[in-house]
Amino acid sequence: MSGEPVVLLVEDDPLFREAVCDHFAAAGLRVDGVGTLAEARELMAEMSYAALLLDDQLPDGKGTSLLDATGLSAATPALVVTAHPALDSAVAGLRHGIEDYLEKPVDLDALRSRVIALIPDEAHREEHEPPSSAGRVVREAVRRASGSRSPVLLTGETGTGKTFLARTIHEGAHVDRPFVHVNCAALPETLIEAELFGTEAGAFTGAKAKAGLLEAAGRGTIFLDEIGEMPVTLQAKLLQCLESAEIRRVGGLEPRPLRARVIAATNVDLDEAVDGGRFRADLRYRLEVLRIRVPPLRERRDDIPRLARVLLEGLANRAGVRVPDAELECLRDHDWPGNIRELRNVLERSLLYAEDGVARPSRMIVPGTDESTVAQRATAEPSTKPTIPPMPLDALEREQILRTLERLGGHRKRTAKALGIGVATLRRKLHGYRDEGFAERIARIDRSERSGARSERSM
């Protein structure tokens, strides 16, 4: 096997097969998925696999018969995942050397971690070692965090993979325990306290005794995503909870133990938020016992081609579409304000508009365009003129945001979605552009938005 570890999935359910391939690819693990034993034998005759993931009931036989035919039970770890569990099949599988016998539905996070744990370290060390210095720093920090129960604060722009890293830290310590993901920006301010801390019966009209998410995490991990958006009034209660390791439900008097490990993440500059009175300095200090800054893609351009290949595997490379290496190298030159999320969207779009079996993601980079423009760009000859003239990085980001805002008629939510960032992030960036030229341009965009809204209402 060369360099990267590859898992062979033999599964006749195409939806489950695609879901597993996508989920594993997000962790940088390639999966070859087939639906029959015959297809599996053909692939195994051509290459070696780091692990096998087998369905027990296949159109042309039992998954375990693959081990009988190839004699791989001693060398290659294998798992069986089936929707039709039977005791005799489980016993037979274990006799064949199957590592485990899992019943559908199965949690994909747990399945991925189980498979990764089976792969020998030497099989995946080379592929998973980030080539850039920034990537190596993050990897080492995550390794240290996985061996601790101390709070972790992940910072970085939207789309850089903070949620993935939080799960990686959690799974490195105790994959079999709960991982509770709380998006602090998505919960209404009136409900977030009750959701986090729980309620006692009678705390307010209609309230019932209910455990909050901090309790539900048990001895696992509570992941407080977008912690920078948490209301200041609630930050004091969270700080007290972390300091005392006790949870007090809304309307309750009896404290309950906080057993979960806390990981928080934000794309907000917490130093600025503290200076502006939007975030408590003492809470920041409590959360950042271990602080990991996740760098944006523009700071680790050497990782982009490799990361693009991993994402393409997750997109199942539809219909065998080829992406030339030169195209992936071109992706280094873009700043990727939406980071990994934007990169994945560009790659997926390029596969949809592939011509003659070749996808060209470098022509799909400018976000916010309509489908007719995308189709024209996909079939156009490569242009020697850049879409935006060379300029400093901060000015380039600003220009990208404004151009997208203009294309979408000033609509903030659509613009944020096209750029792969949150609406709050977009508004914060716009608020930071204060020069005269910007003011005139944004006023023109807003007039266009109001005019468009009036036209829609009159139709």
Domain end, chosen from 65, 91, 126, is at 126
DSSP string, 6-26: EEEEE-S-HHHHHHHHHHHHT
Shared-domain flag, residues 229 and 265 = yes
In a domain, 388, yes or no: no
Residue range of the domain that includes 436: 395-458
The tens digit of pLDDT for each residue in 92-107 reads 445 455 666 677 777 7
Question: How far apart are the C-alpha atoms of 213 and 197, rounded to whole Å?
Answer: 7
- SS3 readout for 272-300: HHHHCCCCCHHHHHHHCCEEEECCCHHHC
> Residue 393's beta-bridge partner residues?
none
Q: State the distance between the two ends of the chain, measured CA to CA, in whole angstroms.
A: 62
- Regarding whether 242 and 176 lie in a shared domain, the answer is yes
Mean pLDDT by 10 residues, the chain (459 residues): 71 86 76 87 79 84 68 63 60 54 76 73 43 77 85 93 90 80 85 86 75 90 94 92 91 88 94 93 93 92 86 66 85 90 89 84 68 49 46 72 77 78 79 69 67 43
Does 113 lie in the same domain as 32?
Answer: yes
Q: Residue 228 sits in a domain of what CATH number?
A: 3.40.50.300
Structure pTM?
A: 0.54
Structure tokens at 204: 């307010």
CB-based contact 290:246 (threshold 8 Å): no
Residue 331: inside a domain: yes
If asked whether residues 105 and 186 sit together in one domain, one would say: no
Tokens of 402: 């404004």
CATH number at residue 50: 3.40.50.2300
Q: CB neighbours (10 Å) of residue 46?
A: 6
Note whether 282 and 301 are same-domain residues: no
pLDDT of residue 12: 87
**Are β-strands 261-266 and 152-155 bridged in parallel, bridged antiparallel, or unpaired?**
parallel
User: Distances from the Cα of 48 to the Cαs of 4, 24, 71, 346, in angstroms?
Assistant: 11, 18, 13, 32
Question: Token digits for 80?
Answer: 């069986």
Strands 246-247 and 256-257: antiparallel
Q: What are the Cα distances from residue 350, in Å, to 302, 327, 390?
A: 21, 11, 24
Q: 124 in helix, strand or coil?
A: helix
Domain assignment present for residue 289? The answer is yes
Whether the bond into 105 is cis, omega within 30 of 0: yes
CA distance 293 to 376: 39
pLDDT of residue 448: 58
385 within a domain of the structure (yes/no): no
Would you give the DSSP letter of residue 155?
A: E
Q: What is the pLDDT of residue 405?
A: 79
What is residue 255's three-state secondary structure?
coil
Q: Is residue 85 part of a domain?
A: yes
User: Do 149 and 244 belong together in one domain?
Assistant: yes
196, 238 in Cβ contact below 8 A? yes
Q: Is residue 92 part of a domain?
A: yes
CB under 8 A, 24+ apart: contacts of 406-411: 406/445, 406/448, 407/368, 407/369, 408/368, 409/445, 409/448, 409/449, 409/452, 410/445, 410/446, 410/448, 410/449, 410/452, 411/449
* pLDDT averaged over every residue in the chain: 78
**Measured distance CA(78)–CA(305) in Å, rounded:** 31
pLDDT of residue 283: 94
Residue 249 lies in a domain: yes
97 and 139 housed in the same domain: no
Entry field: residues in the chain: 459
User: Which tokens hold the place of 294?
Assistant: 């996740």
Residues 305 and 286 in one domain: no
Domain edge (last residue) among 126, 146, 179: 126
